[in-house]
Structure 1
Amino acid sequence: LSLEDLEHGLEQYPKLDLYLYSGELDTFSPREGCTEVVSRLGARAHYTNFLNSGHDWLYEKQIWNDFKKE
């Protein structure tokens, strides 16, 4: 999935925001990839970097709370 594909997909769903997460200790998927997406998508992209997590950031409680928001 390219960034252009993501932008096009979000154009079709104007009420849908994108939530991105990364772990500061993650060597597999570093945060730089998320920051590029946020800079392109602006206010529709919500990004959280968990300082004490690696690739296991999915276990962070905030993620599940964010899913419940919408």
Structure 2
Amino acid sequence: MKLLRWSDEKTLEIGKLRKELGQLEGCAYKPSAPTRGQSDSTKDRAKVEWVVRAPLGSKVKLLARHEVQELSTLK
């Protein structure tokens, strides 16, 4: 999940304020980059874009987090 936060002087021109990306597949046993003749078949990446209009020198905070599922230990 990614969430943008800012004051009233900034506006979001393109994109959504909050974006749920879901669980990424991971990259075990797969090439980290596509090679010639191959497409990127991994689902271990996500891309989110925003266009923000704001006064020069403004800052925008981006919060990216993952809800970690607790793992039980084997005994």
Fold match (TM-score > 0.5): no
Instruction: Please report the TM-score for the alignment, with normalisation by the length of structure 2.
Output: 0.25
Give the number of the structure whose alpha-carbon radius of gyration is greater: 2
Which of the pair has the greater relative contact order for Cα pairs under 8 Å at 6+ separation?
A: 2
Q: Which has the higher helix share?
A: 1
Q: Which has the higher strand share?
A: 2
Instruction: Please report the TM-score for the alignment, with normalisation by the length of structure 1.
Output: 0.26
